[in-house]
Every structure is written in C-alpha cells, then in structure tokens.
Amino acid sequence: MASVNKLGRHQARMAYLFITPTMLLFAVFMVIPVVMALYLSFTNYDVLSSHDWVGLDNYRRLAGDTLLWQTFLNVMYYAVVFVPLNLMISLLLAMLLNKRKAGVKLFRTFYYLPTLTSAVAAATVWIWMLHPEYGLINGLLGYFGITGPAWVSQTETAMLSIIVMTLWQSVGSNMIIYLAGLQGVPDYLYESARLDGASRFACFRYITWPQLRPTTFLVSVMAIIGALQLFDQAFVLTQGGPANVTKTPVYLIYQQGFNQLQMGYASAQAFVLAMAILVFSIISMRLTKAEEPIV
Amino acid sequence: MRKWLIMMLTVVMFGGLLAGCGGSGGSSSGGDNGGDGKSGGKVQLTFWGDWGGEGQKQFETMVDAFNKSQDRIEVKYMLQQDMVTKFLTAATSGGAPDILFWDRWRTSLYAPKNVLRPIDEYMTRDGLNPDDFYEESLKELTHDGKLYGLPLTVDARALFYNKKMFADAGLQPPTTWDELEQAAKTLTKWNGSKLEVAGFSMGDPGLFNMYLQQAGGQMLTEDGKTNFNNEQGKQVLEFWQRLLNEDKVYKIGFEEGLGEGNDAFVTGKVAMLYTGPWMMSTYNKYGKDLDYGIVPPPSGPNGDQGSVMGGFGLVIPQGSKHPEEAWEFIKWWTANKDNALLWAKTSLNMPGFKPALADPFFTEDPLWKPFTETLEFAKTRPTHPGYSVMEENAVIPNLELFMQNKQSLDDTLKKAQEQGDKLLADNASVE
C-alpha cells in the first residue's frame, strides 16, 4: 500500500510539473488579462495618462448606449441564422463525403479550400459577385427576369450577404470535425440496427445524431463564439453599414478603445460581450446535452 | 538522476519561454536603441510611418536626401503596421520614435494626453512663418493654443469629370449645384432597370460635410454641438433627393467593390465624381482611354463654396530623446521649398508648404490647379475629439436610410442630431 501511495504522489508531482508550462502561459496570457480588463472596466483608463477609479460609471453609460445594443441585436440575428445553417450544412457535407469512393478526397479538399482563404481576400471576391449590376448573382437572377438588390448596400440584404459569405468560408472546417466524429461512430451499432431492420433515417436519428453530440456541442459553441465576435468579414464587406445594420460589438469596442482612447469604457463593453458569449454557450450546452455518447 | 534530468529540462524550457518573451519585448522597444547609441558620432533618429510599398519608397527617398544633406543626424524610416496602436504602448513604456507620421485629425485626441511635444518655441526660434502653411491645416495640429507639428501633405476633394462625355453632350464643367444636376441628368444612361452610366457618383454619404459647407452650413457649433438640423442641412438633403429620386443619376451600391482597373470612373460608368489627388495615379495607370478634367467643387444655392481638407503631418512624441534633431528633420522636409517640392514630385502629394505649391509644377498643370484653388476655401474637419465617431455612427447611418428612402428628410436630420449630440458628449472629454 505504502509503495502505491508513494507512486501516486510521485505521479501527481510529475503531472503538475508537466502541466506547469501550459498553466503558466494560460495564467500570463489569459487569466491576468481578463482580471486586468475587469479592473479597467471600473476606471477611466486611456492607455496614456489617466487611470482613476470611476466605480460603476462605465456600466451606467452602457445602459444608454443604444448603438452598442443595436450591434448586439445585429450579431444575434447573425448567430440565429448562421449557427443552425452552419451545423446542418457541414454535417450534410460530412455525411456525403464519409464514403469510400474514388474522388471523395478531392471533394473534401474543395470544400475545405475556402477556409484557407483570408477573410479579406474572400470578401473582396464576394463584393464583386454581389455587385448590383455586374455581379454574378444578379446576372443569374437577370436570366429569370428578376432585378436583384444591391446586396451589400441595402439594409435588408447586407447581413444576409455576410451570412452567406461566412457560411461558405466556415463549413469546410466544421465538415472536417464532423468527418472525424462520423468515423468514430462504431460500425457494430449500424450493423445491429440494420439486422433489426432500421431505416436509414432511423439510423441517423438514433445512432449518428446521438453519437455526434459531443462534436455538435463543440462545433456549435465555436460557431456561437465566432458569431458574437464577428468582425473582419463584416468590416471588409460592408464597413458596418448601411445604417449600422452590420456593425458588431467587437468593432465598437475596438473603436472606443483604440481610436477614442476610452479603454476603461471599452473594457466594460467587452465584459458585456464576454457575458453574452457565456450565456449563449450555456444555452447551447443544455440544448445539445453534451454528455458522453452511449456506446 | 532521472529526476534531475526532468528538472533540468523544465528549467531549460522555462528559460526558453522567458527568453522568447524577452526577445519580442526587446524588438518592440527597438526604436529606443537608436536614441542611446550615437554610431559614428551621428545622432540616430527613428521615424515611424504606416505607409508601405510605394509610400515607403517615397519616404525613404526623402530620408536619404536628408541624411546626405548634412553629417550630424541620421534618420531611419521604420514601417509600422498598425502604427497608432504601437505608438500607444511605446508612448507609455518607452521606445517612442523621434518622428511620427501623423494623421492630423488625431491631434485633438492625443495632445491632451501629453504624448506629443509642442513645437511653438522652435517655430519662433527659427523664425518660421505660420502663414506659409494653410491656417486650417495648422488648426488641426493645434490643441489648447499649442502647435504640435507641421503639415506634410494637404488634400481636398474636387470634381472629376469625363471630358469625352462632356464634349459629346456639349456640356461645360459645372460651377453650381444646378449645373451639376443638369449635367448629371444629361449624362445618365439607363437600360430598363439597369443603370449603365451614372451621371454623378453618390456612393459616399460621408461627403455630407462638404455639401453642407456648400450650402453655407457647418457641421458643429462653436460649443461643440451638431449644427446641421437646419435650413442648410435641409438644402443638402433636398438636393440629394432630387438627384437620386427625380433625376435618377445614381443607384445605391453601383460602385461597390469596383476599384483599380474596374473603377467605375476609369471604365466610363460614372461621368462625374468627387475625389482627391490620391486617385490620380490610379486613373493615369488604368485609364489609358480616360480623358478627365478637374474643377473645384460647384457652389451651392447661395454661392458658398466648400470642400474638406485632409492630410498628414509630422510630429515629435514626448518620448523622443532628440527633439532638437527631430525638429531639424521636420523643418527640412516640411518648411523648405526645394525639399517640399522634391517630396511632392516624387510622391505626387500636395505639400503642406504654400511656397512649394506656388511652383509652376502645381500652378500651371491643369490637373493640379483646381486643387490649389479648392484648398483656398477648404476647411478641415472640426477638432472635436468625438467628431469622427459622431460622423460615422450617427450621421452616415441616418443618411444611408434617407438615401434608400427608408427615412424621411426631417426624421433623418432630427435623429442624426440627437444621436450625434449624444456621441459628441460621450466622447468629448478624454481626460
């Protein structure tokens, strides 16, 4: 017994030793900045000269900041459309490409390629495709006698354009995650289901989908975080316009902190965003019931 | 033994980590090193800017010329991506450069923080005449009665027009709003619901400031409140409404994403537009068949003229250890006719130094002349620290709704005023 305890203690010591570098990095680059930001959100810090405690002033100002709340509504609209579509399309692609057939690897590569394109380059191409008079999309619509809208310039379609572009860009990487998930589903489950005469849909409903829960949880949480932090695609495609409908919280936080030098207030805004992300992640966790898959 | 080995390994790994951090810290404060060491007996100065590519070459041309012109000071240009953010950290932790390339409108935000060095005493000591610079450009570099730098470039928007289209239609370049409207109407071509040629570009509601001046108005009052929910603001929007809805000279989103070789003006899809001298190199490069002319912005209903002056300056951060030498460099570049002209000719920027702009290079060139005329009445943006957020987050969004016929004229001005005043107040004090 004594020797087992000794071994255990030794292993524990070694384990701590090995995780120390990671934990140290985590503390230096994550924990300390977060605590600092929380502290700064109670000051009028401006990076350069002032650094005084202002209590809840910044948070009081938040309440009347209609533009900030509008940007939150913008990203929520974005998230509500984007996240489910993202899950569905990437799962569908993964299931289509989870077959051992000639050329399947080529298609996997094609679907993954957009992920590797830089957001700025992709947005530039999409702006051309969405041009009201010379764009590919309105050109196609023109064949059916439809006058397409000025996609990125009109308030009704600007956010939709961003959703389509970001979907195109992000389904590839989620498809890969789902592919890995699908290949982890044990074959014997399908085999026994087929012996029992289960339909294809039943196989998906009662085997694939429950088995993929942890994957779905991962993908959806990442998608939600990404959605709430939307910035670069929206910035390149529409610069937050028209009429503020594609402005996002991250954009405002950056503007307030680095352009207006109101880092204290920007920290308060950032904390609201962090809380929103937390809440949505918890909701998503409940919805997908991220327990271990039943094997 | 093995334990020791593991301990050693860990120590080495940590050491590596720390060295990694230290290394990056060292390079970010690299600007400081030049200040301490005087290699070869010369004072080493660092000059930060965020112009890369062609702009970097243009800067380096000037820096080399300065370094050759004397043997006491050696300036080195350092390209900084995201320069302002880097300057924020450098200004507080040491390592600020000696000279900073400066977007002038930022002065009202940074000067109150005591990170820039006033240059008034140098100006008087060296007998520089402020009248050699545009008053408006100096105003933008001034805070609380102190001057913080000298203008390196000036620019303003003027009206570019396609000469061939004008000749074909027998039109003269417009000088008033009415003539502008007539010309735009004549030159616009629709094919069913498809716009083929826009008579006049209306893609940038951010030019509201300019139109407001032409209508005789100003964006802000003396005490820092919005000043466009009035007769002048109304005149601008009525003019826009006529152009967009009655004359139909433009379609929202028409120029979206078109640039360089596809630029709508280059390809003859836009007959007139407001833009600045910075577009001339693009038009000359891609517009082989494009024959264009430039005139000062047409005047409004009461004959008022207006354009917005912009441009860059050079400033000395408080953190510079060699402000005297930095000033020498700035003076050499911005307040010497020959050097300002060399800069102008190599970079095709308009220099901030008036005597250089009086050179035949500018006064006798039909493309530069309208700009020098425009600069005579052009006004810089108000120096309120909240001005740019106000314009971007309150004025432009409401104007966009108006231009898409989703908000009435009165509501537009009223909402822009309410939201604008709030943003101005929230961003007024940066202390």
Q: What is the pLDDT of residue B411?
A: 96
Contact criterion met (CB below 8 Å) for B346 and B51: no
Residues of B in contact with A232 (CB under 8 A): none
Q: How far apart are CA B59 and CA B76, in angstroms?
A: 10
B242 within a domain of the structure (yes/no): yes
pLDDT in tens, B295-353: 999 999 999 999 999 999 999 999 999 999 999 999 999 999 999 999 999 999 999 99
Taking one residue from A and the other from B, the number of pairs with CB-CB distance under 8 angstroms is 110
Query: Please, what is the end-to-end C-alpha distance for chain A in angstroms?
Result: 34
Q: How far apart are CA A1 and CA B233, in angstroms?
A: 88
Residue B283 is part of a domain; what is its CATH number?
3.40.190.10
Same domain, B113 and B40: yes
Following DSSP, what letter does each residue of B323-388 receive, concatenated?
A: HHHHHHHHHHHHS-HHHHHHHHHHHT-EESBHHHHTSHHHHS-TTTHHHHHHHHH-EEPP--TTHH
Q: What is the pLDDT of residue A181?
A: 94
Q: Which residues contact A211 (CB under 8 A, 6 or more apart)?
A: A181, A184, A185, A189, A293
Same domain, B302 and B316: no
B390 within a domain of the structure (yes/no): no
Q: What is the pLDDT of residue B25?
A: 34
- State the SS3 of A162-208: HHHHHHHHHHHHHHHHHHHHHHCCCHHHHHHHHHCCCCHHHHHHHHH
B416 within a domain of the structure (yes/no): no
Contact criterion met (CB below 8 Å) for B96 and B116: no
Same domain, B299 and B333: no
Using CA coordinates, name the residue in chain A closest to B193.
A147
Name the residue facing B114 among A49, A151, A261 (closest C-beta): A49
Distance set, CA B279 to CA B266, B285, B348 (Å): 11, 10, 10
Mean pLDDT of B27-38: 41
Query: Is residue B377's pLDDT more than 60?
Result: yes
Using CA coordinates, name the residue in chain A closest to B406.
A155
The shortest C-alpha distance from B401 to chain A (Å) reads: 6
Residues of A in contact with B389 (CB under 8 A): 255, 259-260
A241 reaches B (C-beta below 8 A)? yes
Q: Which residues contact B306 (CB under 8 A, 6 or more apart)?
A: B210, B211, B212, B213, B214, B215, B297, B300, B377, B378, B379
Q: What is the pLDDT of residue A2?
A: 59
The shortest C-alpha distance from A124 to chain B (Å) reads: 7
- Among 3.30.1360.120, 3.40.50.720, 3.30.230.10, 1.10.3720.10, what is the CATH number of A63-290? 1.10.3720.10
Same domain, B131 and B169: no
Q: What is the pLDDT of residue A293?
A: 52
Q: Determine, for residues A155 and B404 on separate chains, whether the beta-carbon distance falls below 8 Å.
A: yes
Distance set, CA B421 to CA A62, A153, B383 (Å): 17, 26, 15
Q: What is the pLDDT of residue A102?
A: 84
pLDDT in tens, B244-269: 999 999 999 898 888 778 899 999 99
B3 within a domain of the structure (yes/no): no
pLDDT confidence of A294, banded at 50, 70, 90? Answer: low
Contact criterion met (CB below 8 Å) for B250 and B202: yes
Q: What is the length of chain B?
A: 431
Q: How far apart are CA A138 and CA A153, in angstroms?
A: 14
Q: How far apart are CA B314 and CA B75, in angstroms?
A: 14
Q: What's the pTM value of the predicted model, to 2 decimals?
A: 0.86
Backbone angles phi, psi at B158, to 5 degrees: -135, 175
The shortest C-alpha distance from A102 to chain B (Å) reads: 39
Same domain, B82 and B208: no
pLDDT confidence of A96, banded at 50, 70, 90? Answer: very high
Same domain, B224 and B358: no
Residue numbers of the domain that contains B128: 15-155+310-375
The shortest C-alpha distance from B47 to chain A (Å) reads: 20
Q: Where are the alpha helices (DSSP H) in B126-226?
A: 135-140, 163-168, 177-187, 208-214
Same domain, B238 and B292: yes
Query: Is residue A241's pLDDT more than 60?
Result: yes
Contact criterion met (CB below 8 Å) for A288 and A216: yes
Mean pLDDT of B32-58: 77
A153 reaches B (C-beta below 8 A)? yes
Query: Is residue A158's pLDDT more than 60?
Result: yes
Tell me what percent of the residues of chain A surpass a pLDDT of 70: 97
A203 reaches B (C-beta below 8 A)? no
B106 within a domain of the structure (yes/no): yes
- Helices and strands (H and E) in chain B: how many: 20, 16
Query: Is residue A290's pLDDT more than 70?
Result: no
Query: Please, what is the end-to-end C-alpha distance for chain B in angstroms?
Result: 60
Count of domains observed in chain B: 2
Same domain, B303 and B164: yes
Q: Averaging pLDDT over each range in A97-111, A268-282, B139-153, which range is the top one?
A: B139-153
